[in-house]
Amino acid sequence: MKVSIIGAGRVGATAAFLLIERGLCEELVIVDVNRDKAVGEAMDLKHGSAAQKRVRVIGTDNYALVKNSNITVITAGIPRKSDESRLDLAKKNAELIKEITRNVVAHTSGMILVVSNPVDLMTYLAVKESGLNERKIFGLGTMLDTLRFKSILTDLYLDSDDVYIIGEHGDSMVPVLSGVKDIDMDKYLNLIEGVRRVAADVIRLKGATFYAPAVAIVEVVEAIVKDKKQTMPISVYHDEYDICISNLVSVGCDGIRRADIRLSTDEKERFLKSARIIEKEIKKLKD
């Protein structure tokens, strides 16, 4: 299994470390415009991998080395500031993501996982730019929000097994709670505000979020590598809206497939409202 990561920043480097630790790849390529940073990260990772099975790790600024990658993870982009919404990043990162996508698809037809924010908009641009089958290119979406929500619920000893966040990776995120039995709906819904705030809190306190995003990335990659057919909230292209937005999908070695999970009437309405927000932002990008 060959995995490439575009972006040698803290999210990309931490994800690379976890991929090696979990034994999910035999070859790992890290691409960054800062070649020295990419090479240095690769050297450090390679030294550590010697304690386990040998992994070929390459750091480079040359996209040709992503050739034949089974999965490429795009983490590159301008980072979010604590007082900045994910949607504020859109115009800053748009041209960069389109350029990266062109460079990746020139050398591999493998799957692409978009992580760069705002992830729904960047995934949309990557889908349109790549020309790939929509089952093979998708975004991290609300996978990270779901992990954050589960973390809050676990701290409060509340059931988190069948809880997901779908919709926008942003303020209009939608909790999916209909799979949880005997639930106090108001209690769960009140906790969503904490999920919306927590990323900004972490950024304010330590400057950036990277451990949790890296775990979310590796969870998706592992589902692909091990063909888990696992239900995950992933940002995917919806042709009925012409947007990318997180929905529940099955993730396996052949990419993503829509999961057969029924939403409540309230969840459907919240999802449509979230979709309209993303739709407006995509129109702004096109102007």
Q: Pick the more confident residue, 263 or 140.
A: 140
Its domain, for residue 200, covers 143-286
- Predicted confidence at residue 255, as pLDDT, reads 95
- Predicted confidence at residue 160, as pLDDT, reads 85
Which of the listed residues 96, 116, 139 is the one where a domain comes to its end? 139
Q: Is the pLDDT of residue 35 over 80?
A: yes
Q: Give the max Cα distance, the chain.
A: 54
Mean of pLDDT values over 76-86: 71
pLDDT digits (tens, 9 = 90+) for 216-268: 999 999 999 999 999 999 999 999 999 999 999 999 999 999 887 788 899 99
pLDDT digits (tens, 9 = 90+) for 150-162: 999 889 888 888 8
Mean pLDDT of the chain, nearest integer: 92
- Predicted confidence at residue 84, as pLDDT, reads 65
- The answer on 173 and 263 residing in a single domain is yes
Question: Residue 274 is part of a domain; what is its CATH number?
Answer: 3.90.110.10
- The answer on 271 and 149 residing in a single domain is yes
Q: Is the pLDDT of residue 122 over 80?
A: yes
Q: Is the pLDDT of residue 53 over 70?
A: yes
Work out the pLDDT band at 194, boundaries 50, 70, 90: confident
Using H for helix, E for strand and C for coil, what is the string for the chain?
CEEEEECCCHHHHHHHHHHHHCCCCCEEEEECCCHHHHHHHHHHHHHHHCCCCCCEEEEECCHHHHCCCCEEEECCCCCCCCCCCHHHHHHHHHHHHHHHHHHHHCCCCCEEEECCCCHHHHHHHHHHHHCCCCCCEEECCCHHHHHHHHHHHHHCCCCCCCCEEEECCCCCCEEECCCCCCCCHHHHHHCHHHHHHHHHHHHHHHCCCCHHHHHHHHHHHHHHHCCCCEEEEEEEEECCCCEEEEEEEEEECCEEEECCCCCCHHHHHHHHHHHHHHHHHHHHHHC
- Predicted confidence at residue 85, as pLDDT, reads 63
- Predicted confidence at residue 115, as pLDDT, reads 97
- The answer on 87 and 124 residing in a single domain is yes
- The answer on 156 and 48 residing in a single domain is no
- The answer on 109 and 38 residing in a single domain is yes
Mean of pLDDT values over 33-41: 98
Q: Range with the lowest mean pLDDT among 101-110, 115-124, 261-270?
A: 261-270
Q: Pick the more confident residue, 136 or 186.
A: 136
- Predicted confidence at residue 129, as pLDDT, reads 95
Q: Is the pLDDT of residue 182 over 90?
A: no
How many structural domains comprise the chain?
Answer: 2
- The answer on 108 and 156 residing in a single domain is no
- The answer on 267 and 178 residing in a single domain is yes
Q: Is the pLDDT of residue 91 over 90?
A: no
- The answer on 150 and 126 residing in a single domain is no
Catalytic residues: 169
Q: Is the pLDDT of residue 87 over 70?
A: no
| b/e 228-255 (16+ beta carbons within 10 angstroms → b) | eebbbbbbbbbeeeebbbbbbbbbbeeb
Which of the listed residues 102, 121, 139 is the one where a domain comes to its end? 139
Question: Residue 130 is part of a domain; what is its CATH number?
Answer: 3.40.50.720
Find, among 202, 266, 237, 240, the residue nearest to 112 by Cα: 237
Mean of pLDDT values over 65-75: 98
- The answer on 134 and 7 residing in a single domain is yes
- Predicted confidence at residue 220, as pLDDT, reads 98
- The answer on 199 and 169 residing in a single domain is yes
